[in-house]
Amino acid sequence: MYKKFEFGQYKKWRGLPAFLKGLSPDYLERVYSITDAQIVGLLQIRTQQDFARIYHVDQGTLSDWNERMRREDWQALSPETRRIINTTTKELLWALYVRILKYAKPKDVRFFLKLIDDSQTDSTVGHQTSGKITKRERNYLDKLFAKNKLGSSKH
């Protein structure tokens, strides 16, 4: 494959949460405890267009890569990509958790719960749409974090 390194970087970049992209390295470390230099570097890239410019890749190539990635599964990922994902999962989950505590968007809560414990349903946390996380929901998230050794909401 042509531009193998760039494709690997693109897969990693695409897998990072959009809400973290474009944040300063200092902010990523201070608020989300993300310090991995490679991840912080990729998070400085906000858009697909920015990625194309920085890595000197044509937009059409990125479209082709998007299609290719849709067809791949976890086993098709390189060992290096799996290592990066495995070593940064805690930081990325913590960042999502902090976002949930700050904004309480239902889609973020559902996504987080699916990542942590896919046996839970929406009824576990209720159907809160007021933009606030209830004490019950915060306790539930804290229990999940404790269970997965990821910290707590006390920060």
Q: With 70 as the cut, is the pLDDT of residue 98 above it? A: yes
Q: With a threshold of 0.85, does the pTM exceed it?
A: no
Angle (CA) 107-132-34 rounded to 5° is 65
For the chain, the domains span 1-88, 104-155
- C-alpha distances (whole Å) from 130 to each of 104, 105, 112, 133 are 8, 9, 18, 8
Burial-class residue 83 by CB neighbours within 10 Å (0-12, 13-18, 19+).
exposed
Q: Given its phi and psi angles, is residue 117 left (phi above 0), alpha (psi -120 to 50 degrees) or beta?
A: beta
> pLDDT tens, 41-53?
999 999 999 999 9
